[in-house]
Amino acid sequence: MANASDNASNPLAPVAVVGAGAVGCYYGGMLARAGVPVTLIARPAHAEAINAAGLHFEAESFDEQVRVSAATELSAVAGARLVLFCVKTRDTEATAAALAPYLPPDALVLDLQNGVDNVRRIQQHLSNPVIATVVYVAASMAGPGHLRHAGGGSLVIGESRQDDVRTGDVQADTLAAVARLLADAGVPCKVSENIDGELWSKFLINCSFNAVSALGRSRYGRMADSETMMAVMRRAAREVVAVAQAAGIRMPESDPLKIVERAGQSMAQATSSTEQDISLGRPTEIDDLNGYLVRKGAALGIDTPVNQTLHALVKLREAVRLDEGR
């Protein structure tokens, strides 16, 4: 890990985290621990707790209060050289549009969201270069300003080359510099020449696990131990692979279904973000996960009955939970 003074003067610093929930707090917290100037833009309760006592970062290998700045307004991105874009997918376009007046023109945007089409949606409102990112971390907010890390933490970054995506011509040396900054903070980060395939590989995990975890209120390990449940998830995964192939996406795995088995084993203690959202009475991202796959499949003439069923059932549970919270 580079020393704190090196990180503080890094050309990619300071860093702003837009949407400092669990994912944003994890990566922003790791950078802050390494001495990078970071501002977390979070909900008021989290920002107040973090400014008062630091971010309570409860990880697998440490448990400490990380000193880091926090704010509630998007204007806090002013002056940032690197922005971690971590809002929920339902807020992508509104947040990108609201950022536009404050974001420096030379700032990089690192998109750390679920789903496969957020770069395109961000670029409808921002002219800044946007780097596509695949996130592999299990984390949750245990309370105001309290992050609990359950496993993982690696990233894969790259320039999306889908026909409808304009990434701002992210250069190879820029990607390498971002990867070094993260690696120096203890975050394994790989640069991929096939980031679109990597995004769809993660999307396959989301479509296979998120809805089932939410509907069954289950951790990944319990789901993976059930052969009946794994059969359902494999069928959901096969539909993802079929749509990806029809869309011209080259997934990096020769046998993408193996991704499902590995995810259940490596993140056994995790629950999905979809389950966390429903438990907290918040709208989910299911429309941009299984719902997106259903829409994309329909446009390409691919049937996706398992994903359609999972999407509909999560929407039903979400509606009931939101009604209960009123």
Residues 40-60: what's their mean pLDDT?
97
Packing angle, helices 258-266 and 195-216, rounded to 10: 60
Separation between Cα atoms, residue 16 and residue 103, nearest integer Å: 10
Pick from 135, 173, 166: which is nearest to 151 by CA? 135
Instruction: Find the mean pLDDT for residues 122-145.
Output: 95
Asked whether residue 270 carries a pLDDT value surpassing 90, the answer given is: no
Q: What is the pLDDT of residue 324?
A: 81
Interatomic CA distance for residues 80 and 150, integer angstroms = 29
> Do the beta carbons of residue 181 and residue 85 sit within 8 Å?
no
Predicted confidence at residue 60, as pLDDT, reads 86
pLDDT in tens, 198-257: 999 999 999 999 999 999 999 999 999 999 999 999 999 999 999 999 999 999 988 888
> Which residue would you say has higher pLDDT here, 18 or 1?
18
Token pair belonging to 168:
């701002």
The pLDDT tens digits for 68-110 are: 999 999 999 999 999 999 999 999 999 999 999 999 999 999 9
Which pLDDT band holds residue 157 (cuts at 50, 70, 90)?
A: very high
Predicted pLDDT at 9: 78
pLDDT tens digits along 166-205: 555 678 999 999 999 999 999 999 999 999 999 999 999 9
Place of tokens 């993260």: 182
**Residue 57 confidence (pLDDT) above 80:** yes
What pTM value is reported for the model?
0.92
Query: In which band, very low, low, confident or very high, does the pLDDT at 263 lie, cut at 50, 70 and 90?
Result: confident
Number of C-alpha atoms within 13 angstroms, CB side, residue 164? Answer: 9
- pLDDT at position 166 is 57
Alpha carbon distance, N-terminus to C-terminus of the chain:
47
SS3 content of the chain, % helix, strand, coil (to 5): 50, 15, 35
Handedness of CA 288, 291, 297, 299 (dihedral sign): negative
pLDDT, average across residues 263-283: 88
Report helix, strand or coil for 95.
helix
CATH code for residues 4-193: 3.40.50.720
Share of the chain above pLDDT 90, in %: 83
Is pLDDT larger for residue 167 or for residue 258? 258
Model confidence at 3: pLDDT above 70: no
Is the pLDDT at 265 greater than 90? The verdict is: no
- What does the pLDDT look like over 4-47, one tens digit per residue? 656 777 999 999 999 999 999 999 999 999 999 999 999 999 99
Residue 253 has what pLDDT?
Answer: 85
Instruction: Give the per-residue pLDDT at 219.
Output: 92
- What is the structure's pLDDT at 165? 62
Helix, strand or coil for residue 203?
helix
Cα-flanking dihedrals φ and ψ of residue 82, to 5°? -135, 130
Tokens of 308: 């359609």
Domain 196-325 has CATH 1.10.1040.10: yes
Residue 4's pLDDT is: 63
Domain ranges of the chain: 4-193, 196-325
